Amino acid sequence: MGDAAILANGALSQSTAPDSLTFRISPPAALVMDSGATLSPLTIAYQTYGALNAARSNALLVCHALSGDQHVANLHPVTGRAGWWETMVGPGLPFDTDRFFVICSNVLGGCMGTTGPASINPETGNPFGLDFPIVTVADMVRAQALLLDHLGIETLFCVAGGSMGGMQVLQWAASYPTRVFAALPIATSARHSSQNIAFHEVGRQAVMADPDWRGGRYLIEGARPSKGLAVARMAAHITYLSDSALHRRFGRNLQDRSARTFSFDADFQVESYLRHQGAIFVERFDPNSYLYMTRAMDYFDLAADYGGSLANAFKGSRTRFCVVSFTSDWLFPTSDSRALVRALNAGGASVSFVEIETDRGHDAFLLDVPELIETTRGFIDAAARARGIS
């Protein structure tokens, strides 16, 4: 882990997230957001692994997905579970912490220490709730850039992430092309599809339909829309898996019984599994943050931000890209990755593309998939040699 974070005014920060470092931006400094809102004060919670070299050239930023956080490779302080990308981050792994200084921050609008809708609004003394400004992926990246400025890191060796994390990777490469040497977007797209927006709307409506949501004021009123958030998570979790993976794992097997109950109990193993996923999610995630994160993904459309041309977003880029997709990922299908690769080629970028055959669906980027690990290792090693990192 890194040392205690230092505030803009030089004072030591006390972490607002369990076992995390924090960086705090205080007035008159502020983050200007796409919505036109300004946010200050602002706290960014983050974790670091490994050490920054003397040349400050070995920093590797990991960007987390919708339900992730900064605890990428350490025991999670809330759930007690292993870090969400321990297959990738650590000594001897592709993001080798003996070689690289790995950074992962909780995104803007999150709920693990970075300022979000559950944070206290300094104007009212109460949690923001829906008074928190709408967040975009570009806003998340701007906040990360402020963190890197604080850490004294001008250029990132690599930015990597999957799903919403991959969106952040692409935004980094488009917004800060001179600060990114290599980029690894996995299982992602340069824009959210209408189908994905539709799935997100179902999840948001599940949260907002819960009577305990209270118009987003549940924290002030001592309530929590746990049932709605659990249903949202259950629906979303289905999209992270493939039909064949679900069938292989559960089939039509009944849950701990040999006969149907002729009721609406969880007769099938897959029902029990989804209910469990919903239950454990609500223990660590803020419902309003779920609304904000899904909306940020919905708004993501790099081409629209660059005159309708995705190639323009990467025109003249010197960043090295490796785009990775999975054959069974129907949430972010390979066709999205191919469109991204074509745009990168049209923009003159250096890009390689790997489609990995697996039946494990969208969540394959989080799992122990040997071809993904070896692809990542090969790309990172080649980039490190070009960067002069031993």
Question: Which residue segment(s) compose the domain that 278 sits in?
Answer: 199-295
Give yes or no: residues 62 and 164 share one domain: yes
Going 156 to 35 to 316 to 372, the CA torsion angle's sign is positive
Residue 5 lies in a domain: no
Residue 277: Cβ within 10 Å count? 16
Q: Are residues 217 and 103 in the same domain?
A: no
Same domain? 217 vs 187: no
Instruction: Let me know whether 289 and 334 are in one domain.
Output: no
Say whether both 47 and 102 belong to one domain. Answer: yes
Tokens 């505030």, residue? Answer: 7
Residue 321 inside a domain? The answer is yes
| 34-42 long-range Cβ contacts below 8 angstroms, 24+ apart | 34/136, 34/138, 34/139, 35/133, 35/134, 35/136, 37/133, 39/108, 39/115, 39/133, 41/115, 41/122, 42/108, 42/115, 42/143, 42/146
The residue to which tokens 């076992």 are assigned: 19
CB-based contact 369:358 (threshold 8 Å): yes
- Degrees to nearest 5, angle at CA 164 with 159 and 165: 20
Q: What's the pLDDT tens digit per position in 157-193?
A: 999 999 999 999 999 999 999 999 999 999 999 999 9
Q: Please give the backbone phi and psi of residue 330, each rounded to the nearest 5 degrees, phi first.
A: -95, -5
User: Which amino acid does the sequence have at 180?
Assistant: V
Are 312 and 287 within one domain? no
Domain end marker among 248, 276, 295: 295
Please tell me which residue in 20, 119, 163, 317 is annotated as part of the active site: 163
Q: Are residues 264 and 325 in the same domain?
A: no
Does any domain span residue 15?
A: no
Could you tell me if residue 207 is inside a domain?
A: yes
Active site residue 359: no
Q: What is the pLDDT of residues 58-116, one digit of tens each?
A: 999 999 999 999 999 999 999 899 999 999 999 999 999 999 999 999 999 999 999 99
Structure confidence at residue 16 (pLDDT): 46
Q: Answer yes or no: is 222 within a domain.
A: yes
243 and 360 housed in the same domain: no
Q: What is the pLDDT of residue 18?
A: 63
Q: Identify whether 266 is part of a domain.
A: yes
Predicted pLDDT at 291: 98
Give domain status of residue 11, yes or no: no
Token pair for 180: 């990114």
Half-sphere exposure of residue 80: CA atoms within 13 angstroms, side-chain side:
2
User: How many beta carbons lie within 10 A of that of residue 179, not counting itself?
Assistant: 17
Pair (69, 175) in one structural domain? yes
Give the CATH number for residue 207: 1.10.1740.110
Domain endpoint, select from 242, 263, 295: 295
* Catalytic site includes residue 163: yes
CB 87 within 8 A of CB 373: yes
- Residue of 329, 336, 337, 363 with catalytic role: 329
Last residue of a domain, one of 246, 265, 295: 295
CATH number of the domain bearing residue 30? 3.40.50.1820
Total of domains in the chain: 2
Q: How far apart are CA 195 and CA 304, in angstroms?
A: 18
Instruction: State whether 136 and 250 are in the same domain.
Output: no
Residue 7 resides in a domain: no
- Are the CB atoms for 319 and 351 separated by under 8 Å? no
In this prediction, residue 263 carries a pLDDT of: 85
pLDDT of residue 256: 73
Instruction: With a cut of 70, list the residues of the chain below it in pLDDT.
Output: 1-18, 257
- CA-based nearest residue to 2, from 68, 61, 52, 60: 52
Same domain, 163 and 311: yes
Which residues in 200-235 are b (16+ Cβ under 10 Å) and which e? beebbebbbebebbbebebbeeeebbbbbbbbbbbb
Specify the pLDDT at position 322. Answer: 98
Assess whether 237 carries a catalytic annotation. Answer: no
pLDDT of residue 255: 84
Residue 127 bridge partners (DSSP): 120
Question: Could you say which of 267, 337, 362, 363 is catalytic?
Answer: 362
Write out pLDDT tens, residues 138-162.
999 999 999 999 999 999 999 999 9
* pLDDT for residue 2: 35
Contact 289, 110 (CB under 8 A): yes
**Same domain assignment for residues 150 and 25:** yes
